[in-house]
């Protein structure tokens, strides 16, 4: 019996979304960014996500029905912000009948760093986790377009990371999460033996800031 062909849907058009830090959205074709929009402001995800998706679709000339894969950054990130992008990705995928693929948001920063700095040096990637903490992960380089993560993701105070990482020999970067890089990683994954990550589970790392009230005790 002839083996079924591997899925090549992501080789067509993909929409990438991430709201783990700011709001970043991109449309790609076979790993090439056609249009991208990045908002660094971390508090306006809900207000921006819909118009951002519409804008990159218009700029790329690609309609929703042409999108075969939705790539979403799964964090780590603050609960409220991260879930906006996750929900938008799911609803878009349902409407477009597209597949979902998840990528660690910090991986996109590592990819951009190594593309700009081809030497395979150890890298520490951090993003703001608030509460005077950072989300972080370390990397050793990129293999076949996929960043090689060596530790994390985790959340700590920056000064405590040196307990786990030799910061004196590790590069750092000010780069932020970029949807285009997430899409490029997902495209590289579908060409690799591991394939894309269809497990769309958000990486929160800690409890949300807002929790349901226990309510008032009723006596009777």
Q: What is the pLDDT along the chain (220 residues), one digit of tens a residue?
A: 443 344 444 458 999 999 999 999 999 999 999 999 999 876 666 778 999 999 999 999 999 999 999 999 999 999 888 999 999 999 999 999 999 999 999 999 999 999 999 887 999 999 999 889 999 999 999 999 999 999 999 999 999 999 999 988 999 999 999 999 999 999 999 988 888 888 789 999 976 544 434 444 444 4
Taking Cα atoms as reference points, which of 151, 161, 163, 176 lies closest to residue 21?
A: 176
Task: State the Cα–Cα distance between residues 158 and 128, nearest whole angstrom.
Answer: 10
Answer for the pair 175, 113: CB distance below 8 angstroms, yes or no: yes
| Dihedral of the alpha carbons of 68, 10, 33, 154, in degrees to the nearest 10 | 110
Q: Residue 8: what pLDDT?
A: 43
11-190 belongs to CATH 3.30.420.40: yes
DSSP 3-state percent helix, strand, coil across the chain (nearest 5): 35, 30, 35
Please report, for the chain, the start and end positions of each structural domain, with discontinuous segments joined by +.
Answer: 11-190
Answer for the pair 73, 177: CB distance below 8 angstroms, yes or no: yes
Q: Residue 215: what pLDDT?
A: 46
Q: Residue 46: what pLDDT?
A: 73
- Tokens 């690609």 locate to 62
């Amino acid at each position: 019996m002839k083996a079924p062909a591997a899925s090549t849907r992501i080789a067509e058009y993909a929409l990438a979304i991430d709201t783990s830090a700011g709001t970043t959205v991109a449309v790609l074709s076979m790993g090439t960014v056609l249009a991208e929009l990045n908002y660094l402001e971390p508090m306006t995800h809900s207000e921006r996500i819909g118009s951002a998706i519409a804008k990159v679709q218009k700029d790329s000339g690609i309609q929703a029905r042409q999108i075969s894969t939705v790539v979403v950054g799964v964090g780590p990130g603050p609960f409220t912000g991260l879930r906006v992008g996750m929900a938008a990705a799911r609803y878009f995928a349902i409407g477009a009948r597209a597949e979902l693929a998840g990528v660690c948001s910090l991986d996109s920063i590592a990819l951009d760093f190594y593309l700009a700095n081809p030497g395979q040096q150890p890298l520490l990637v951090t993003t703001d986790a608030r509460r005077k903490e950072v989300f972080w992960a370390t990397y050793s380089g990129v293999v076949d377009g996929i960043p090689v993560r060596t530790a994390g993701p985790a959340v700590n105070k920056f000064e405590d990371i040196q307990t786990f990482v030799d910061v004196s020999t590790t590069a750092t970067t000010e780069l932020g999460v970029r949807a285009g890089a997430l899409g490029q990683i997902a495209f590289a994954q579908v060409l690799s033996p591991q394939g894309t990550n269809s497990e769309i589970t958000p990486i929160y790392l800690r409890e949300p800031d807002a929790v349901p009230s226990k309510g008032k005790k009723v006596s009777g």
